[in-house]
Amino acid sequence: MSRITVVGAGKYGSTTVQRLAEWDIVDEVVMTDIVEGLPQGLALDMNQSRPVIGNRTLVIGTNDYADTANSDVVIITAGLPRKPGMSRMDLLEVNAKIVKSVTEQIVRYSPNAVLIVVTNPLDQMATLAADVSGFPRNRVFGQAGILDSSRFAHFISEATGADIQSIDAFTYGSHGETMVPVPSLCRIDGKPLTEVLSPGTIDDLVERTRKGGAEIVALLKTGSAYYAPSAAAARMAKAVIEDSGEHMPVCAWMSGEYGIDGVYLGVMAEVGAGGVRQIVEEPLTDEELAGLVDAAEAVRSKVADLEQINL
Ligand code: APR
């Protein structure tokens, strides 16, 4: 029996569950949250949509980690968004405590799972989940690159009028300021992006991508994006479940690739049943490589902040 667990039944978690259930790729998707009734109610609603959608995957809503036992994949979305007046360190402390306790519970019941972390701040949370779980680092990875790449592709499609499905766009590094665009790897219908758009236009689209999450937050007024983020996380879980070997930009543990070692960073990886099979080193321009090295150092210093917290 195949099972995916999603921890956190908020916007991100519940939409991820819905996508996975509708794709019909596992027997069960378990959704858990600390709020009583929330995952159960959402699960009931989703299960009742199956006759219309035509899928069979059963969604189980629970507050009990025993129900998550023997999951093949666990997606951790539990956490709080940053609230007004909260510093970056405050958020780090709150979410680190949540991710630590969630990881301990998950490991207890699913010692062989692959962990996909999406809770922000992502680089720190992926590192923490890896440390707390004690899992091999290839079995713990994070979601950021697929989302940013997908946003970038959307903006390229808007700017060029090209079919969204003809665009291959990638971003490396991490979210926000540490996002590293890699235009040299981007293609429209196989044609290099750099031959279709001017450097200035590419820079503008990169900047909009970098601030893609904030643009949506400003429009929504409450809460943050979840449709594209959930698509990205679900897509990673699908690659693990199907042992597809797909290449996707994920937040993965670096072991010397590009000369970078011992840090979680967004790069292209081959994803399969055991998580990250290997990091795929693509040829980068000198500027892109320098950006990646800088991003690695920025992540390393952010991760050091974790040591100041009493967990
Ligand atoms: N265990 C399980 N669930 C928890 C826990 C916990 N210890 N603590 C909080 N939660 C749940 C909350 O009850 C809530 O239902 O996590 C859920 C978070 O949902 P939302 O507030 O809707 O946030 P969401 O938009 O889903 O984002 C979740 O993803 O993109 C990141 O920055 C975002 O870190 C945030 C996470």
Which atom of ligand 1 approaches the CA of 12 most closely? 26
42 lines ligand 1 (CB under 6 A): no
Q: Determine which residue's CA is closest to atom 2 belonging to ligand 1.
A: 33
User: 171 and 179 in contact (C-beta within 8 Å)?
Assistant: yes
119 lines ligand 1 (CB under 6 A): yes
pLDDT of residue 245: 98
pLDDT of residue 41: 98
Q: How far is the CA of 268 from the centre of ligand 1 (A)?
A: 27
Q: In this structure, which CATH number among 3.30.390.50, 3.90.110.10, 3.50.50.60, 3.40.50.300 belongs to the domain 145-306?
A: 3.90.110.10
Q: In this structure, which CATH number among 3.40.50.300, 3.20.20.70, 3.40.50.720, 1.10.30.50 belongs to the domain 3-144?
A: 3.40.50.720
pLDDT of residue 88: 74
Q: Domain ranges for the chain, please list them.
A: 3-144, 145-306
Same fold, 3-144 and 145-306: no
pLDDT of residue 91: 86
226 lines ligand 1 (CB under 6 A): yes
pLDDT of residue 190: 96
CA distance 15 to 19: 6
37 lines ligand 1 (CB under 6 A): no
| 77, 100, 117, 143, best to mutate for ligand 1 pocket (most atoms within 8 Å of CB) | 77
Digit-by-digit pLDDT tens for the chain (311 residues) are: 999 999 999 999 999 999 999 999 999 999 999 999 999 999 999 999 999 999 999 999 999 999 999 999 999 999 997 777 777 788 899 999 999 999 999 999 999 999 999 999 999 999 999 999 999 999 999 999 999 999 999 999 999 999 999 999 999 998 878 899 999 999 999 999 999 999 999 999 999 999 999 899 899 988 889 999 999 999 999 999 999 999 999 999 999 999 999 999 999 999 999 999 999 999 999 999 999 999 999 999 999 999 888 88
142 lines ligand 1 (CB under 6 A): no
Q: How far is the CA of 246 from the centre of ligand 1 (A)?
A: 28
Residues marked active site are found at: 175
pLDDT of residue 177: 80
Q: How far is the CA of 79 from the centre of ligand 1 (A)?
A: 4
Which atom of ligand 1 approaches the CA of 224 most closely? 25
